Amino acid sequence: MEDIDFSRMTWSIIRDPIYNYIDYNKEVEKQVIDSKPVQRLRWLRQLQLAHMVYPGADHSRFQHSLGVMHLAGLFSQHLVQELYRYDGLEGYSVDGLVEVSRIAGLLHDVGHGPFSHAFEEAIYWSKKLPISDHEEAGYYIVKYSCIADVLEKHGLLEPVLELLSCEKPSSKPLLLVRNTVKEWIYPADVMDFLMRDSYYTGTREYGVVDYERLIKLSHVNPDNYSSIALEERAYGTLVDYLRSRISMFENVYIHPVSAIFSHTVSLMMKRVDELTGRYSEAIEKLSHGEPDMYLELTDYRAVLDGLEVAREHGDEELYRLVDSILYRRPLWKLLYEERVALSARQLSGITAAILLEQSISLRSQIWRVLRERLEDRGLGDYSSGFWVSMSTLKPTPPIPSGYIQLCRLVNGGVVNTRELGVPDLLEREGIMLKVLIRIYASKEFVKEPSRREVGERIARETLLEFVSPKSFFTGITM
């Protein structure tokens, strides 16, 4: 990494509704911002199809990425200066590490496909592909696109790739900086999307985050220089942040109408890929260092793909899916839902991969029982119009250590006071992880009141067999 000195750089500003102004330098950041992979993020909505419910939710992943760059810079600047005084920076400079964090924040979502998480469900999760998710796709895009040339010129490519990789960085300074971007209980990524998404959806009461207090009262952990300690006097701010996160999940991110349209675009993209293979091909090419085809994929392109492929193949069902998206005509209606509250202790040690595997298995079991009951009531012909969804309302992102280190300032130095395990913290504050299971039925089914009443009863009977916290995810040792 070349010796980056922010004082010698030329800076400009971007107006932003969350932070008022976001600074960027012209020597490095402007070139990355203006690159095709980052400009493409303008054409990916941050909240997929939440604008079908909240009309203001038209903001893009481009805006979010600028916000994460800004917050990651503030967070890392504060911590890296402390680390420099404690332990040195293993050859890095303060400004160099801050720049790495800013660039990583800017690029953390660059691998998203059309409609973001719906694309993952439709394509990545349904096939065995050489790239497993948007984070890995982002790593390949940075490595093999024009961005690599910009970063290589300033010696930033390798440290940025280390921050974006699924593997842990090799040094303490980079581990610390990575925590500020995406891998902590309150990283820049999460703080920005809570504030930004609540602003654009008009639900600002749910997304209140005192990011300045969380950052200013965070310190380098004196017992582990690659992790973060939080002053005890910011404990209440941390709890408020966790409550904001769960409120946004409950009220915005998994709104039933948004879920219906996400399911619709997922089916649309899956069908397009079945008929053409273009999305799988784009991922295959990206894995071989050819990102151009993947970089053509946007929300708008995916809808046009659906329309063109439907016309080419005379696929009426694909037409119906595209029509639903273009003209906001939901094809399903929520029939019944149940929530299961699970303590953090029950899920202690369970990885996201295991949770995903178990949820897929459980959805399959619920669907099988539901179909049998519909057939028993003479409604089997309608079973293809039913589907089951499962969403996890997560109060915290996963953090590597599994605990929060609380500290105090004593005579100008940081002194650790106690470790508070994340399960203990959540239990102490009454914050539960919730799993929301929903059964949807086709509009055709629910338009007849007596049939809908029977369907609701069947859905309720079916879900009640599966929602006991003691028996939930029975394949997991709790």
Instruction: State the pLDDT at residue 119.
Output: 97
In whole angstroms, give the CA distance from residue 287 to residue 140: 7
Better pLDDT: 128 or 74: 74
CB atoms within 10 A of CB 469: 14
- Residue 330: CA count within 13 A, CB half-sphere: 20
Instruction: State the pLDDT at residue 188.
Output: 98
Of 112-126, 159-173, 388-402, give the lowest mean pLDDT range.
388-402
Asked if residue 54 has pLDDT above 50, the reply is yes
Amino acid making up residue 125: W
Better pLDDT: 144 or 1: 144
% of the chain exceeding 90 in pLDDT = 79
**pLDDT tens string 89-143:** 998 999 999 999 999 999 999 999 999 999 999 999 888 899 999 999 999 999 9
Asked if residue 475 has pLDDT above 50, the reply is no
Mean pLDDT of 22-30: 97
Give the closest residue to 176 by CA, choosing from 119, 239, 105, 224.
Answer: 224
Give the closest residue to 40 by CA, choosing from 228, 293, 285.
Answer: 293
Specify the 3-state DSSP secondary structure of 6: helix
**pLDDT tens string 239-265:** 999 999 999 998 999 999 999 999 999
DSSP state of 291: -
User: Dihedral angle at the C-alpha atoms of 352, 358, 359, 360, nearest 10 degrees?
Assistant: 110
Residue 328's region, left for phi above 0, alpha for psi from -120 to 50, else beta, is: left
In whole angstroms, give the CA distance from residue 266 to residue 82: 46
Mean pLDDT of 75-88: 92
- Residue 348: pLDDT band (50, 70, 90) is low
**pLDDT tens string 213-244:** 999 999 999 999 999 999 999 999 999 999 99
Of 376-385, 391-400, 452-461, give the lowest mean pLDDT range.
391-400
Asked if residue 443 has pLDDT above 70, the reply is yes
Provide the edge-to-edge strand list for the sheet that holds 403-410: 218-220, 228-231, 403-410, 413-421
Asked if residue 342 has pLDDT above 50, the reply is yes
Of 73-77, 342-346, 348-352, give the lowest mean pLDDT range.
348-352
Asked if residue 375 has pLDDT above 60, the reply is yes
Of 34-38, 270-274, 364-368, give the lowest mean pLDDT range.
364-368
In whole angstroms, give the CA distance from residue 416 to residue 197: 34
**Please, are residues 104 and 165 in contact by the beta-carbon 8 Å criterion?**
no
Give the closest residue to 252 by CA, choosing from 201, 210, 328.
Answer: 201
Mean pLDDT of 141-151: 97
Instruction: State the pLDDT at residue 477.
Output: 33
Instruction: State the pLDDT at residue 476.
Output: 39
Give the closest residue to 123 by CA, choosing from 259, 292, 294.
Answer: 294
Q: What angle do CA 268, 299, 41 make, to 5 degrees?
A: 150
Asked if residue 461 has pLDDT above 60, the reply is yes
Question: What is the DSSP annotation of 147-190?
Answer: HHHHHHHTT-HHHHHHHHSSSPPSSHHHHHHHHHHTSSSS-HHH
Q: Which domains does the chain have, with CATH numbers?
A: 6-256 (1.10.3210.10), 331-395+432-478 (3.30.300)
Asked if residue 354 has pLDDT above 60, the reply is no
In whole angstroms, give the CA distance from residue 303 to residue 244: 33
CB atoms within 10 A of CB 209: 22
